[in-house]
Amino acid sequence: MLQREIDPALAADIAKFEEMLERYLAGDLAEDVFRVFRLNNGIYGQRQGGHNQMVRVKLPWGGVSPEQLDMCAHVADTYSRGWGHITTRQNIQFHFVQLERVPDLLRDLASVGLTSREACGDTVRNVMGCHLAGACPHEVLDITHWADAAFHHFLRNPLGQRLPRKFKINFSGCATDCGQAMFNDVGVIATSRTLDDGTTEAGFRVYVAGGLGANPHPALALEDFTPREELLPTIEACLRVFEQAGNRDNKLRARMKWLVDTLGFEEVQRRVLTQRKFLLASATWPGGIPEEVRKHGDAPAGVASDVAPTAVGQGVSVALRGTKPYERWEQANVVRGVANGTVSAMAYARLGDITSAQFRALAAIQREMGLEVRTTPRQNLAFRGLSESQLPTLFARLDAIGMAEPGAELSRDVVACPGADTCNLAVTQSRGLASAIGAALEEEGLAEVGGVRTNISGCTNSCGQHHASDIGFFGAERRAHGTSAPGYQMLLGGYVGQEQIYFGQKALRLPAKNAPEATVRVVRRYNDERNAGEMFHEWLERVGGAKAVAEDLRDLDHFPTPEENPDYFIDYGETGPYVAEVGESECAT
């Protein structure tokens, strides 16, 4: 594999990791000290214990090159179990990496410009960006290089090395909010304002203190409009306020969202704006237009005059009218309407998983067709810069590797966190449930219902973003007939878009084995009852809300005895009786 010279900063990171690892293995470095260091370098312990590790690779704004995809294939085969996993924050994770082999893995990643630094731990995490940025007919600004500038500004920044808790930044190019700004510590949405002379100025609206987890909080607008020159100082001011005032005594109350509960939003807002004002005096003032943006620009893609822009975002109506596989894929997975005439198309990665063979095939497609590729928050990949004539070729190439199903914005596209497969905190096999739900929808002919999202987490922490989806589940231990059993809480009506967020409302609790049937019933009812163009959360409100829909599912909240049906007491993918094993929290979300 062709590799390039390693960036000196990445080489220094790896040398430091190797040194600290040697000290730890020699018994010279305390477990808790090494743990913090390890997490800050994106290496996360697994529930299997021992030296099994998950390595999280950062992909700022989801961008990935052919060389990097090839390297992912190499890493999957050489260090992991033959496949990788796209996360809901546009990273790629590899599991079952042995701790002693991590330095070699990091060196391989660095040879193609990839790092895991600050992908975990109490740091500034991967900076997300809309996967259609620069290729979206609806955008106000192309946020790609703004997100890239933020990534570079905060990577290794002394302010972010020992925060009270993790800090997440997202960028969206328009109010559709494909970047999901509304539930992050800092969410940036491109917008515009009309000046006194009648001209229009493009800039941003910055939202702060959002979050999911067990106690979701909506992000709040810091101010109505933030000029482009002040964006990075605004984000840094938010980070400084968090670093100074965040709760260092209780991690459960340490995120930025808890500052609003503790201090009140007006005080948080005052502190951020005051910090920003005086950042001008800082030796590292990040103001003005970043070099990346000056070099590459941020003009929006613009709208084509002869093509109606494809609707994007949660709740979009997708109608599959074709009968041939290519026609159905093209209707569900292709985005049109950009002024330069190019189109984008989604490659469907079931459960966010990609095998090493698929990684290599994706790299070959990208390289040979001259395309851009980005990972998406729904764990798929977006191919960008296509011509119309390339679409059939792309479909054929994706079809050959099992990634051409019409999945984008259809009900089969179920999102799940890794769950109890590898995570210390999970109490259920969320991936197994996601697979079972997908299979149940396929069997009932409901897998291609448009405009309904299902997200699953293996615990309350919402790594699977269950709060923000139409149908959400989070894992919970149940007791039935004196025995532990895997169960889920079902939520309905979550939505993020148009600078709004609604968190899903609790419907009912269910045995894990009945969750697929509950999903089938809800999707069928929505499909049969919705009005033209009616979003799921609008339909839900019209029919009486989550509790009203739950009444038709009450028969599913029932456990047979272990003698009647032992399967109810065994989780998906397991062979023995269910046990809710929760390890020490390293909280990878």
Q: What domains can you pick out in the chain, each with its CATH number?
A: 8-110 (3.90.480.20), 140-296 (3.30.413.10), 325-400 (3.90.480.10), 415-569 (3.30.413.10)
Reduced to 3 DSSP states, what percent helix, strand and coil does the chain have, rounded to the nearest 5? 40, 20, 45
Instruction: Report the pLDDT value the prediction gives residue 584, as an integer from 0 to 100.
Output: 67
* Average pLDDT of the chain, as a whole number: 96
Q: What is the mean pLDDT of residues 188-192?
A: 98
Give yes or no for residue 437 having a pLDDT over 60: yes
What is the model's pLDDT at position 322?
A: 84
In whole angstroms, give the CA distance from residue 419 to residue 352: 13
Rama region for 418: left / alpha / beta (φ>0; ψ in -120 to 50; rest): alpha
531-540, Cβ contacts within 8 angstroms, sequence gap of 24 or more: 532/317, 533/317, 535/314, 535/315, 535/451, 535/495, 536/315, 536/451, 536/452, 536/453, 536/470, 536/471, 536/493, 536/495, 537/315, 537/470, 537/493, 537/494, 537/495, 537/502, 540/492, 540/493
43-45/52-57 β-pairing: antiparallel
How many angstroms separate the CA atoms of 95 and 509, rounded?
31
Beta strands in 114-246 (DSSP E): 128-129, 169-172, 186-194, 200-208, 220-221
**Does 589 score more than 50 pLDDT?**
no
pLDDT > 70? residue 32: yes
Residues 6+ apart with CB under 8 A from 64: 92, 373, 374, 375
- Between the alpha carbon of residue 132 and those of residues 60, 170, 361, the distances in Å are 14, 14, 22
- Smallest Cα–Cα separation from 180: which of 261, 282, 88? 88
Q: Which two tokens stand for residue 476?
A: 């919970």
Give every CB contact of residue 260 below 8 A, 6+ residues apart in sequence.
209, 217, 220, 268
C-beta atoms surrounding 432 within 10 Å: 22
Beta bridge partners of residue 479, listed in sequence order: 484
- CA distances (Å), 429 to each of 272, 328, 447, 457, in order? 41, 31, 21, 9
- For the stretch 533-581, pLDDT in tens is 999 999 999 999 999 999 999 999 999 999 999 999 999 999 889 988 7
| Confidence at residue 588, expressed as pLDDT on a 0 to 100 scale | 45
pLDDT-derived band at 323 (thresholds 50, 70, 90) equals confident
Please tell me the distance from the alpha carbon of residue 348 to that of residue 55, in angstroms, as a whole number: 23
Q: What is the pLDDT of residues 128-163, one digit of tens each?
A: 999 999 999 999 999 999 999 999 999 999 999 999
Beta strands in 5-61 (DSSP E): 43-45, 52-57
Task: Return the residue matching tokens 């961008």.
Answer: 63
pTM of the model: 0.96
According to DSSP, residue 17 is labeled H
Q: Is the pLDDT of residue 387 over 50?
A: yes
Cα angle 307, 309, 310 (rounded to 5 degrees) comes to: 120
Cα–Cα distance for residue pair 180/305, rounded to 1 Å = 28
Pick the closest to residue 456 from 518, 396, 403 (CA basis): 518
Q: Is the pLDDT of residue 461 over 50?
A: yes
How far is residue 472's CA from residue 383's CA, in Å, rounded to a whole number? 28
